[in-house]
């Protein structure tokens, strides 16, 4: 029992633990190969051989090759919506997203774009991964629009949540690219964090006239 009296969840069973270990092994092996020889030049068969598993096992865990490289994609797509749905009482969507980005930048969170130079270079050099990343930005913006619609009780067909999500999503897209640019320029995470936190504050301030009180909890 935890200190607050709640019963902790049971530990994963042996079968589930083995599945998690296999998934992590495949992911780690794939990342190593992608960084060493490039995403486009690495095949799923090579990954399976290096991980000593069947090719079918790889595709069972990762249906698309891009899934092996972008292992945080579900968390990424949900990140902005999660910030809105978990906002504090009296906090607007803009304030919640501003606070969440500052925290992510301080922590050098990979979901915010802090991936390291080798990984960032792999992304920009791969047309496939660059296209998938654009799709993920679109998914994240759509999820944010849904969260804003729920938060404001917007009627079906109301464009306001989509417009607000587009504005907020554009800021996050730009900041993500900025982190990539600074990473590829050779800056360390501490310096990048300091830079983008200041730039994010300026960017979010530009949206205050329109969104300062929008979707306040």
The answer as to whether 4 is a domain residue is no
Which pLDDT band, with edges at 50, 70 and 90, does 12 fall under?
low
Q: What CATH number does the domain containing 31 carry?
A: 1.10.10.60
Give the domain-ending residue among 54, 69, 84: 69
Which pLDDT band, with edges at 50, 70 and 90, does 149 fall under?
Answer: very high
Domain count, the chain: 2
Structural domain span for residue 115: 73-211
pLDDT band at 27 (very low <50, low <70, confident <90, very high): very high
Note whether 57 and 108 are same-domain residues: no
Q: Would you say residue 44 has pLDDT above 70?
A: yes
The whole-number pLDDT of residue 2 equals 47
Reply yes or no on whether the pLDDT at 66 is more than 80. yes
Domain at 201, CATH number:
1.10.357
Residue 13 or 4, more confident: 13
Let me know whether 191 and 89 are in one domain: yes
22 and 42 in a single domain? The answer is: yes
Looking at the structure, tell me whether residues 144 and 43 fall in a common domain.
no
> Span 119-133, mean pLDDT?
94
Same domain, 79 and 155: yes
Could you report how far apart the first and last alpha carbons of the chain are, in Å? 32
Among residues 29, 54, 69, the one where a domain terminates is: 69
- Average pLDDT on 172-180 reads 97
Question: CA 14, CA 10: separation in Å to the nearest integer?
Answer: 12
What does pTM read for this prediction?
A: 0.86
Tokens 């774009």 belong to residue: 113
Average pLDDT of the chain is 93
User: How many residues are listed for the chain in this entry?
Assistant: 217
Nearest to residue 96, comparing CAs of 86, 105, 109, 104? 86
> Is 107 in the same domain as 203?
yes
């Amino acid at each position: 029992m935890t200190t607050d009296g709640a019963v902790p969840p049971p530990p994963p069973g042996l079968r589930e633990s083995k599945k998690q270990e296999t998934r992590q092994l495949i992911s780690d092996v794939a990342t190593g190969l992608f960084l060493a020889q490039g995403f486009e030049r690495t095949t799923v068969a090579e990954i399976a051989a290096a991980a000593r598993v069947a090719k079918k096992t790889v595709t069972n865990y990762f249906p698309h090759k891009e899934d092996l490289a972008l292992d945080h994609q579900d968390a990424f797509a949900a990140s902005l919506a999660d910030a809105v749905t978990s906002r504090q009482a009296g906090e607007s969507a803009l304030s919640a997203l501003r606070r969440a980005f500052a925290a992510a930048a301080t922590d050098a969170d990979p979901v915010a774009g802090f991936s390291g130079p080798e990984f960032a270079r792999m992304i920009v050099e791969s047309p496939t991964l660059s296209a998938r990343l654009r799709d993920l930005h679109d998914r994240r913006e759509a999820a944010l629009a849904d969260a804003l619609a729920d938060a404001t009780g917007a009627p079906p067909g109301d464009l306001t949540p989509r417009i607000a999500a587009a504005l907020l999503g554009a800021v996050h897209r730009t900041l993500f690219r900025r982190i990539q640019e600074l990473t590829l320029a050779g800056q360390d995470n501490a310096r990048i964090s300091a830079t983008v936190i200041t730039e994010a504050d300026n960017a979010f301030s530009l949206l205050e006239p329109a969104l300062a009180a929008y979707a306040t909890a």
